[in-house]
Structure 1
Amino acid sequence: MKIEADHDLCQGHAMCSMEAPDVFTVAKHGTVEVLMDTVPDRLRDDVEAAVKYCPTRALGIIED
């Protein structure tokens, strides 16, 4: 699985980094940065929660 992040939609709320801190980071007053090119299956639940709870819907999952 891969993650797509729309930086135009991201407002830096950092919900993603709270749900999946191994996968996402958000700098203070910045936008989301995806830390992995390919996300391992063991982190799937965390990533799905991050996508679900993103207030601006800036994240998406791309299946391999």
Structure 2
Amino acid sequence: MSHIQLDRDRCEGHGLCEDAAPEIYRLDDDCELELLVDEVSPELRSKAEAGARVCPVAALRVVS
């Protein structure tokens, strides 16, 4: 399975990842990103990658 690497120092809380994959990414009330899954199943990998791709500051990476 894959997992998501989040660079919290880079994340600016734009929320585009949440728009692309709300079952994986969520911004809390303080605009801090929460990862809703520890491991990305094969079924969700394309969604996770889509959320990472739209991040304007490249704070997300999906890795095997």
Task: Provide the TM-score with structure 2 as the length reference.
Answer: 0.89
What does residue 60 of structure 1 align with? 61
- Between the two proteins, the alignment pairs up a number of residues equal to 63
Matches within 5 A, 1:1-40: 1-40=2-41
| Aligned-residue offset at 1:62 | 1.7
Cα distance between partner residues in 1 of 2:7 and 2:34: 10
Q: Cα RMSD over matched residues?
A: 1.0
| Aligned-residue offset at 1:61 | 1.2
| Aligned-residue offset at 1:28 | 3.8
The letter of the residue matching 1:49 is A
Task: Provide the TM-score with structure 1 as the length reference.
Answer: 0.89
Question: Quick one: percent identity of the two aligned structures?
Answer: 33
- Higher helix content, 1 or 2: 1
What does residue 44 of structure 1 align with? 45
Superposition misfits of 4+ residues, deviation over 6 angstroms: none
| Aligned-residue offset at 1:33 | 0.9
